[in-house]
Amino acid sequence: MSPSPKHVTVLLSEAVAALAIRPDGVYVDGTFGRGGHSRAILAALGPQGRLIAFDRDPSAIEVGREIADPRLTLVHAPFSSFADELDGLGVSRVDGVLLDLGVSSPQLDEPERGMSFRFDAPLDMRMDTSRGQTVAQWLAEASVAQITEVLRDYGEERFAHAIAKAIAAARTGGVVATTRQLAAIVEKAVRTREPGQHPATRSFQALRIFINQELEELSLILPDTVARLKPGGRLVVISFHSLEDRIVKRFMRDESRPPQLPSRLPVRAADLPQPRLALVGKAARPGDAEVAANPRARSAVMRVAERTEVSA
């Protein structure tokens, strides 16, 4: 494995501040990555505080084991298993949950992960390299209709069908096994592209999101976080993709509103069930200085909500 590139944590101070950390609280970092947020949370906790950090990437867990802090518990699992893992640890409620979505710089920059067309590498793209199907394996079996659906739904790719047909045609000469092979196929199939963007960008992003079930994982954990948060506990989510942010925005919006009843129903507003979340501030984005120092931060959006007193 090549040396791990440095990962620059996005919205580091803003995310930790948004958690409103209580020194003796119990917090969850759903995406440990390379530990930027986790280290900052530990620095804000007191001796009785606790941090439970999830990551499905074995390399991230390996980095986490270098942190010699008894307050930190590492969990090698996708964050969709949040509730089950907390039960296994004997934790019923927590004071805050942070989700920093997307991929880390090392995952993009390590050629062997196969997530970038900048390198010629095996077409893998799995976040957890210890289990599951690679993109190459899936493309070898998927139909044109299935490939089209993934590229369209996860990458918002206008030329999804043309790319899918080109991939199917290329398979007749053997498996599409490397990043450069796939990038070349897409480049020939895409007629036009946004200035400054490689023709394969959307396709690579779509296949990565699909093979790791990133949107499904997010949809599964959000309700569990609300059920496990103590009153006053914060949910902080940083998204890097419009589809992710849409899920988070709608979830927080819906959970912060009373149920929508028929307009003519004779029920007073005060008698309606109260929402389980309250929105905290507006969506936050990195400032110009952070984007200049770390261009990958430019698409980040952070949303924050607080658990109300309403019973789960």
Binding residues, by number, are 35-37, 55, 79, 100, 107
Under 8 Å between Cβ of 72 and 42: yes
Instruction: Tell me which residue of 289, 109, 283, 299 sits closest to 197, measured CA to CA.
Output: 299
Pairing of strands 277-279, 301-307: antiparallel
Report the C-alpha gap between 29 and 52 in whole angstroms. 6
Query: DSSP per residue over 87-134, as a string?
Result: HHTT---EEEEEEE-S--HHHHH-GGG---TTS--BS---SSTTSS--
CA atoms within 13 A on the CB side of 45: 23
Report the C-alpha gap between 38 and 29 in whole angstroms. 6
State whether residue 272 is helix, strand or coil.
coil
Rg of the chain's alpha carbons, rounded to an integer?
21
Find the largest Cα–Cα distance for the chain: 68
Strands (E), the chain: 26-29, 50-55, 72-76, 94-100, 229-239, 277-279, 301-307
Pairing of strands 26-29, 50-55: parallel
Report the C-alpha gap between 127 and 212 in whole angstroms. 7
Report the C-alpha gap between 117 and 205 in whole angstroms. 11
Q: Which residues are documented as binding site for S-adenosyl-L-methionine?
A: 35-37, 55, 79, 100, 107
